Amino acid sequence: MKGKSLIICIAVIAAAIAGYRWLPSYYNPFAPLSLDDPPGTLTQFKLRRLTPEHCEILLAQANARQLIRTQTVADTTGECPLSDVVRVRSFGQVSLSSSFLASCPLALSSALFVNQQARPLTQTMMGSSLSRIDHLGSFACRNIYHRPNARRSEHATAQALDISGFTLENGQRIAVLRGWKNDTSGPWLRALLGASCGYFGNALGPDYNAAHANHFHLGMRGFGYCPQSINHQTKGQNM
């Protein structure tokens, strides 16, 4: 029996090794992230462990495929120094209310979210293409909620984007503030915010607290911290 058990054990190990070799890269947590990897936990995991070098390579590929249009920006010094940031001009066919500064991870995560989730969700749920994203900015040299004794905000390093609304191809403009409780746009906005959780470290919206009533906060801190409904007294540790 011991000999048979050993043979079975060796066979199982051999099968596992053989299966691992043929495992698609997007199912392999140790394979590098690809722009074609589907949304999911593994893609989120790979986004969180990106090296600066790999992020730059993927961002260049995303530019070449017109998933995003970025411009290099010189490093800055001062109270909130910035290094290795880019200026995002558009997300391919989706324009912006204005350009914004972003770290490489924020730019890449945003490009994947817009093209893999936001665009198809908008077409399916709203019956029109996503045309423009309105935002309140990304970089601001400040502490969380402007509190003097709080830690620095993600915005102080261009690691977060605040989205305030969307414009559709049919001309419809939907603000997060008014659209969140609307019977038509509300479910779509909730679907967008929920889908963003697979790309960002934290995704906060109107149900998080009063400070986010008019925008989505999409930041790189944490891992999948996307509370859908938290009392307005919550302090917001991931800002």
Main-chain dihedrals φ then ψ at residue 153, nearest 5 degrees: -75, 160
- Residues 106-145 pLDDT 10s: 999 999 999 999 999 999 999 999 999 999 999 999 887 7
**Could you tell me which of 121, 115, 1 has the C-alpha nearest to residue 65?**
115
Question: Pick the residue with more confidence: 1 or 172?
Answer: 172
The CA distance from 19 to 187, in Å, is: 40
- Residues 8-40 pLDDT 10s: 555 445 444 444 455 566 567 788 899 999 888
The mean pLDDT value for 39-60 works out to 92
The 3-class SS string of 187-217 reads HHHHHHHHHHCCCCCEEECCCCCHHHCCCEE
**Could you tell me which of 49, 18, 1, 12 has the C-alpha nearest to residue 223?**
49
Q: For residue 94, how far is the Cα from the chain centroid?
A: 16
- Residues 152-180 pLDDT 10s: 889 999 999 999 999 999 999 999 999 99
Give the three-state DSSP class for 136: strand
